[in-house]
Amino acid sequence: MKRENILIVAIICIAFAGVMIYNKSKSEKQADAIQDKGPAQISGTSNIDWQGYDQGMELAKTENKPIFLYFHADWCTYCKKLTKTTFRNKAVLNYLKDNFISITVNTDKKQELATQWSIRGLPTLWFLKSDNSKISSIPGFIDAKQFLHILKYIHTASYDKMSFQEFVKTI
């Protein structure tokens, strides 16, 4: 091969490698941005307005809304099931949007928050008053119908007046 041909092949290889590196770094940045948004917005099928932890806690105080705090991880099978089923239910989506500040926490990326909240298994769902005081937590997967009952129970502050079982009988 002539020296010029070798030089041209080398330049093409370097250019190709540069494009590959650029595209990889761009896709990693996009993946990080998606991860910070929350699990239900990744698919684009949900309209849950996920907030980060700090901004969500402040927003709840400002808007005087209770908080739905969702701890999850990418590897968690039941977190994925919750995202694919419960968080896509229209009634759940509308109720969350209208009545709660929804906060998502990826426990792999925010390990200090997982420790602070004593998260032992995933998914874990916490409900808080607008002043950030704790109401209750629920470990594990919940189907849409049951979750909607829980959302209504929390939003109406019925937990101050009756048990959840009594509340469900009134629905």
pLDDT tens digit sequence for 67-114: 999 999 999 999 999 999 999 999 999 999 999 999 999 999 999 999
The pLDDT confidence band at residue 48, using thresholds 50, 70 and 90, is very high
Given a cut of 80, whether residue 10 has pLDDT beyond it is no
Any residues with CB less than 8 A from the CB of 168 and at least 6 apart, and which?
149, 153
Given a cut of 60, whether residue 45 has pLDDT beyond it is no
pLDDT tens digit sequence for 14-28: 755 555 666 555 444
Mean pLDDT of the chain: 85
The pLDDT confidence band at residue 171, using thresholds 50, 70 and 90, is confident
Is 82 within 8 Å of 40 (Cβ atoms)? no
- The two structure tokens encoding residue 122: 């995933």
Query: 51-70: b or e for each residue (b if 16 or more CB lie within 10 Å)?
Result: beeeebbebbeeeebbbbbb
Higher pLDDT, residue 167 or 23: 167
Reported for 20-24, long-range contacts at CB under 8 A and 24+ positions apart, including other chains, are none
3-state secondary structure of 100: coil
- The two structure tokens encoding residue 135: 């109401």
pTM for the whole structure: 0.74
Given a cut of 60, whether residue 7 has pLDDT beyond it is yes
Is 128 within 8 Å of 67 (Cβ atoms)? yes
Higher pLDDT, residue 160 or 32: 160
